[in-house]
């Protein structure tokens, strides 16, 4: 695993900015991210490598795809 900065596009407008752009431990092959939000999960899928941020950390863009509810 290594550190990447992910940019999340789409999904609920109430999703906080700190969630939309965050540092995460990631695998090279991580194509799907699941974000816990308001009693459910927002699902985002990998779209593109965007180069590196000002600190040299890789940037990856993920677009929102769907929401699921947390099972009781």
pTM of the model: 0.86
Domain ranges of the chain: 2-69
Torsion angle, alpha carbons of 37, 30, 62, 67, to 10? -40
Mean pLDDT of the chain: 89
Residue 51's pLDDT is 94
Which pLDDT does position 24 carry in this prediction? 85
User: Does residue 60 have a pLDDT over 90?
Assistant: yes
Q: What is the pLDDT of residues 6-30, one digit of tens each?
A: 999 999 999 999 898 988 887 666 7
Write out pLDDT tens, residues 24-53.
887 666 789 999 999 999 999 999 999 999
**Measured between alpha carbons, how far is 7 from 50 in angstroms, rounded to an integer?**
10
What does the alpha-carbon distance between residue 65 and residue 72 come to, in Å, rounded to a whole number?
Answer: 23
């Amino acid at each position: 695993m290594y550190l990447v900065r992910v940019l999340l596009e789409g999904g609920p407008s109430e999703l906080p900015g700190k969630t939309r752009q965050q540092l995460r431990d990631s695998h090279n092959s991580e194509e799907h991210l699941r974000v816990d939000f308001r009693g459910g999960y927002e699902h985002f899928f990998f779209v593109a490598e965007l180069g590196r941020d000002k600190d040299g950390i890789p940037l990856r863009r993920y677009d929102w795809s769907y929401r699921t509810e947390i099972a009781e």
